[in-house]
Amino acid sequence: MHTTRAFRALTVAAGAAVLAACTLGDPDGEGAAPAAGAAGGESAEHTFVAGTGTVPHLNPQIIVSPSIDMVTGGMYEALVRLTDTYEVVPWLARDWEIADGGRRVTLTLEEGVTWHDGEPFTADDVVFNLEELVPYQAYGAGLVESIDTVEAPDDHTVVMTFAEPYGPVMEVLSLQRMLPKHLYEGTDYLDNPANMAPVGTGPFEFENFAEGQEISMRAYEDYWKGEVEVDRLIYVIQNDTNAGALSLIAGDTMVGGVGQGMLEQVRAAEHLELTQRGQLPRQFIFTMNADVPELQDPEVRRLVYQSVNRSQVAEVALPEISYEPTSMYPDELGWIDPGIDYREEFPYDPDAINARLDELGYGRDENGNRFSLRLHLMSMTAEARAVGAVIESSMAEVGIAVELVGEETNVFMENVYQRRDFDTAIVEATLGVDPSLGITRWYHCLSEPVDAENPSGICDEQLQEAVDAALQTTDQAERAEHFRTVQERAAEVMMAGPLVFHTPFSAYNSAEWEGLGSPDGLTGGADWTAVSPRE
């Protein structure tokens, strides 16, 4: 689909995906809200309270943040959803067919779905979203640029055609929440009242938004997937993860994120369970500036990467939640065989690294240093500081002096991505719903600087060819072969490499509720038809 307008997604700096709160306000000012999971009389409501981070807006297509996605996930829905093992599962689209070598995608929609105002959800809504609203979302823009036509032959069928196949089409659709055409058509999308009072197809309908305090919603009686046993859902806003964990322990909130410093206290609470399900993995990635004299030789870059004790990063900096990478792809992407094991290709072996650096002529000075490198990191997180400390210590063993440069987010982004005034850098980054979106961005060619993408200054044509090929086919086996080529060449060029893959813990109240903890692995929130209060 060729569009004449340029769209740019508005992004919010991602904080913790789930943050719990300590207190609960009353949005109507008529007295205290019922306690989470309240019971006591036949008419008692089952109220579920969860914590979240800052929520300035309630349209996930316009502003992207984990907190907004979580809160609006109970009201808006996508055509398909993704599990934490990268499996695409049906949702508003009950079936789909990819034909003509990936150039034709047909979606079959669920019947009997209604918006919260009673209007029917139809294929016309989907067409409108793809044409008008999906381009606003960061990953949606790339999908829409690839679409040639989109049509609705009937109320429950959508057909998209592509001039060239778009590999992660279904994965990108899992990120697109459907908004009602009848409320957005002909309006200013950025200033539509529904952005602050959503009307969706999900299990909960909007009730109230007390900005900076909480968002409340009620069960939608005509939800297409069936009965929801949570009568009222409230998200309280709290940006302190430790306070959030204390709220979970006290029983004030039912689900939330848990920082490493609170894990033992949460484990000691008999009513709480910890899980890593329902989240896609993240990575700390190590990037290098190839314009720095010491880093112009790819062999030296490989030795520098090898000089990071990655098993120590996992065991010391991020214990319990992480593992040492075997390749640029996490284990959860089991359909990709990378053809390499980083633990064998780049082992942390100070003796061997020292010997090779000696052979290459990098002698030591009177302080025992061969050369020094600045390591830029976002100093606001304890995890980044801990990873930086391991790097500093392990590189010292091979005579590389590391200067840790901790910076606020905006300064880091400017120095690393825009000005490229850095030697090395570490970034905690999402892996995204598909490797073409979340992984290859650290290795592909750039014509101009882009935040959170390859800052190395390297454009390798062979690697880029494989990156493009993986994006331009929907056949998973073919994509896997291209991603293997990407991996092989990335290991040779070595502009960047993962230090650790990790998935934070979240906790949930298993004493009061059943069906929590994402037992089905669904990302983007619970299947609320499976959640019920314990009797």
For 386-399, what is each residue's pLDDT tens digit?
999 999 999 999 99
The pLDDT of residue 29 is above 60: no
CA distance 213 to 203: 22
What lies within 8 Å, CB to CB, of 264 at 6+ separation is none
Q: Model confidence over 56-110: pLDDT tens digits?
A: 999 999 988 888 999 999 999 999 999 999 999 999 999 999 999 999 999 999 9
Radius of gyration, CA atoms only, the chain: 24
Provide the 10 A C-beta neighbour count for residue 402: 22
CA distance 149 to 2: 8
The pLDDT of residue 44 is above 90: no
DSSP 214: E
Give the burial class of 159: count Cβ atoms within 10 A of its Cβ; 0-12 exposed, 13-18 middle, 19 or more buried. middle
CA distance 302 to 294: 12
In this predicted structure, what is the pLDDT of residue 1?
54
**Residues 501-511, mean pLDDT to the nearest whole number:** 95
The pLDDT of residue 6 is above 70: no
User: What percent of the chain has pLDDT above 70?
Assistant: 92
CA distance 21 to 479: 43
In this predicted structure, what is the pLDDT of residue 100?
97
Provide the 10 A C-beta neighbour count for residue 36: 23
Q: Model confidence over 293-334: pLDDT tens digits?
A: 999 999 999 999 999 999 999 999 999 999 999 999 999 999
Q: What angle do CA 534, 524, 432 make, to 5 degrees?
A: 145
pLDDT bin (cut points 50, 70, 90) of residue 38 is very low
CA distance 327 to 235: 38
pLDDT bin (cut points 50, 70, 90) of residue 43 is low
Q: Which residues pair with 154 in a beta bridge?
A: 157
pLDDT bin (cut points 50, 70, 90) of residue 40 is very low
Nearest residue to 438 (alpha-carbon basis) of 427, 424, 449, 425 = 427
In this predicted structure, what is the pLDDT of residue 241?
73
Provide the 10 A C-beta neighbour count for residue 5: 6
CA distances from 184 to 191, 193, 492 (A): 10, 9, 49
> How high does pLDDT run on average in the chain?
91
User: Residue 232 is which amino acid?
Assistant: R
Entry pTM: 0.89
In this predicted structure, what is the pLDDT of residue 381?
86
Q: Model confidence over 452-464: pLDDT tens digits?
A: 999 999 999 999 9
DSSP-assigned letters across all residues of 240-253: -HHHHHHHHHHTS-
Q: Model confidence over 238-290: pLDDT tens digits?
A: 877 788 899 999 999 999 989 888 999 999 999 999 999 999 999 999 999 99
**Residues 413-441, mean pLDDT to the nearest whole number:** 97
Q: Model confidence over 123-156: pLDDT tens digits?
A: 999 999 999 999 999 899 999 999 999 999 999 9
Q: What angle do CA 313, 315, 318 make, to 5 degrees?
A: 65
Nearest residue to 81 (alpha-carbon basis) of 199, 203, 222, 177 = 177
The pLDDT of residue 192 is above 80: yes
CA distance 372 to 395: 10
CA distance 103 to 148: 9
